[in-house]
């Protein structure tokens, strides 16, 4: 629970706006975000790195709603993208392409052209083949592509294996042992400008040690490149800073920033960073209603109207999200699995939770602002959830719930008579 989602008169509120009123107005399931929480999380980075030339690039994969992007753009954020579609979202929301870094292992020629035309700040290149392709595409367009190499430092982030990205057997980045030679190749290509170096070792990191170990390895490489006559202008320290879901202790950003400043002392390197989860994760909840209480012989279930298609993380990672009643009662709690209506045994939001609930009651799944809506789907032909942003005490719909017509719009031609 955070100060932006707290109980008032025994009713859970988003910045003093009762979630009961939001459910009544917009229905469930529904993602609810706090604009103040978004601003506060961004300010925590801006304040920590104050005095250091830096750019905070919000990682769109965490939450790519246009209103969320616009909110961060107004705060001065840059953006980290991993697809041409995400670039189009940034531009549609009024973001500046010149503050965008384009990451990802599988950029297509079409995506490269789109990014070059828009004028992105940098391509984070992840393989030699990508480097060669980008050089060809830029040459054909009469452009020069600004590049950094995403270096894989072979540092264990000690996180869930599905969100670890900095080890030798991960698909991401260029092997540390090969990076110096690949930089030399990049510097020799006619249509590339080598401008930086990038590293991202994983997600939901709660220990600063792996992040700082990776930084040490990058800086050693920066010095070696300088000996080769390759001068870099920025260092991208990636993202991955964790949040509190259950009992984690998130890293101290001020301590992290101070350690980065000390390691970069005397160097003329701008610092880029790519936070996602830590900017939006605890700024949102998933609001859902209990449809049935099913009391089994060995298990009790609270069957709700949200499901794995709305919040994939528990099914995909066995991730923990705290689940609380929106209206507190004095009724007895019972041990239940909170599950959805999707036809999969993996469809659960939380297992073995002590909850005092009844049919028709509202529940809030906490810490759902990151990787909730962006990973959602129409599985079982279920409408994707609505999204609401609470700003200045007023809830505003920022994504309508899918209609059936929208879900089948691209299939309608198949229904026409032949």
Total domains present in the chain: 2
234 — pLDDT class (breaks 50, 70, 90): very high
pLDDT digits (tens, 9 = 90+) for 365-391: 999 999 999 999 999 999 999 999 999
CB atoms under 10 Å from CB of 51, counted, come to: 8
Look-up of token digits 């701008």: 270
Say whether both 165 and 24 belong to one domain: no
Query: Does 251 carry a binding-site annotation?
Result: no
**Euclidean distance between CA atoms 375 and 322, whole angstroms:** 19
Tokens of 236: 């991208």
pLDDT digits (tens, 9 = 90+) for 292-312: 999 988 999 999 999 999 999
Tokens of 59: 């990682």
* DSSP string for 159-192: S-GGGB-SSTTSSSSEEHHHHHHHHHHHHHSTTE
Say whether both 199 and 334 belong to one domain: no
Say whether both 251 and 104 belong to one domain: yes
Say whether both 166 and 213 belong to one domain: yes
pLDDT digits (tens, 9 = 90+) for 76-115: 999 999 999 999 999 999 999 999 999 999 999 999 999 9
Query: Does 391 carry a binding-site annotation?
Result: no
Say whether both 268 and 314 belong to one domain: no
Task: Kindly list the distances between the CA atom of residue 135 and the CA atoms of 17, 139, 147, 236, 279, in Å, as whole numbers in the listed order.
Answer: 52, 6, 10, 21, 34
Say whether both 343 and 404 belong to one domain: yes
Last residue of a domain, one of 279, 301, 323: 279
Pick from 373, 221, 228: nearest CA to 306: 373
Last residue of a domain, one of 238, 258, 279: 279
Say whether both 194 and 69 belong to one domain: yes
CATH number for the domain that contains residue 351: 2.40.37.10
Last residue of a domain, one of 279, 310, 330: 279
CATH number for the domain that contains residue 78: 3.20.20.10
With residue 74 as reference, give the H or E element that holds it: helix 66-75
Say whether both 236 and 324 belong to one domain: no
Pairing of strands 334-339, 386-391: unpaired
Query: Does 150 carry a binding-site annotation?
Result: no
Task: Kindly list the distances between the CA atom of residue 321 and the CA atoms of 83, 110, 344, 370, in Å, as whole numbers in the listed order.
Answer: 28, 38, 19, 12
**Euclidean distance between CA atoms 18 and 339, whole angstroms:** 24
Segments forming the whole domain that contains residue 297:
5-33+281-410
Say if 312 falls within a structural domain.
Answer: yes
Say whether both 251 and 354 belong to one domain: no
Say if 384 falls within a structural domain.
Answer: yes
Query: Does 371 carry a binding-site annotation?
Result: yes
What's the pLDDT score for residue 79? 98
What's the pLDDT score for residue 161? 47
171 vs 309, residue with greater confidence: 309
Say whether both 266 and 383 belong to one domain: no
Residue 343 annotated to the active site = yes
Say if 262 falls within a structural domain.
Answer: yes
Say whether both 56 and 24 belong to one domain: no
pLDDT digits (tens, 9 = 90+) for 252-292: 999 999 999 999 998 999 999 999 999 999 999 999 999 99
Say if 218 falls within a structural domain.
Answer: yes
Say whether both 223 and 291 belong to one domain: no
């Amino acid at each position: 629970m955070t100060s932006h989602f707290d109980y008032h008169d025994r009713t859970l509120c988003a910045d003093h706006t009762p979630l009961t009123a939001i459910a009544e107005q917009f229905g469930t399931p529904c993602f609810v975000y706090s604009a103040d929480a978004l601003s506060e999380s961004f300010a925590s980075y801006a304040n920590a790195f104050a005095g250091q030339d830096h750019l905070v690039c919000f990682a769109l994969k965490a939450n790519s709603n246009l209103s969320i992007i616009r909110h961060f753009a107004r705060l001065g954020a840059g953006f980290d993208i991993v697809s041409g579609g995400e670039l189009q979202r940034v531009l549609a929301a009024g973001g500046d392409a010149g503050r965008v870094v384009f990451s990802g292992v599988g950029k297509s020629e079409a995506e490269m052209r789109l990014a070059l035309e828009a004028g992105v700040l940098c391509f984070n290149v992840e393989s030699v083949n990508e480097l060669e392709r980008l050089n060809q595409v830029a040459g054909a367009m009469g452009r020069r592509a600004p590049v950094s190499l995403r270096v894989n430092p072979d540092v264990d982030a000690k996180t869930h294996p599905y969100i670890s990205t900095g080890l030798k057997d991960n698909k991401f980045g260029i092997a540390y042992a090969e990076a110096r030679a690949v930089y030399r190749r990049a510097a020799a290509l006619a249509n590339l400008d080598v401008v930086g170096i990038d590293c991202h070792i994983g997600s939901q990191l709660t220990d600063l040690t792996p992040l700082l170990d990776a930084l040490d390895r990058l800086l050693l490489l920066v010095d070696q490149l300088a000996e080769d006559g390759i001068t870099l202008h920025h260092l991208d320290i990636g993202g991955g800073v964790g949040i509190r879901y259950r009992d984690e202790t998130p890293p101290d950003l001020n301590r992290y920033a101070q350690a980065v400043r000390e390691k970069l002392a005397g160097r003329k390197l701008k610092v880029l960073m790519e936070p996602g989860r830590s900017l939006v994760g605890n700024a949102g909840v998933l609001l859902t209603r209990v449809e049935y209480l099913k009391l089994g012989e060995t298990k009790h279930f609270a069957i709700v109207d949200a499901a794995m298609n709305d919040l994939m993380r528990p099914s995909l990672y066995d991730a923990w999200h705290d689940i609380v009643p929106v209206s507190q009662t004095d009724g007895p709690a019972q041990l239940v699995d909170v599950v959805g209506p999707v036809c999969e045994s993996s469809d659960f939001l939380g297992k073995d939770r002590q909850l005092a609930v009844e049919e028709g009651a509202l529940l809030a799944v906490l810490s759902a602002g990151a990787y909730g809506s962006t990973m959602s789907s129409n599985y079982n032909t279920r409408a994707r959830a609505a999204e609401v942003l609470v700003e200045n005490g007023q809830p505003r719909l920022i994504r309508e719930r899918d209609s059936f017509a929208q879900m089948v719009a691209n299939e309608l031609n198949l229904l026409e008579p032949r």
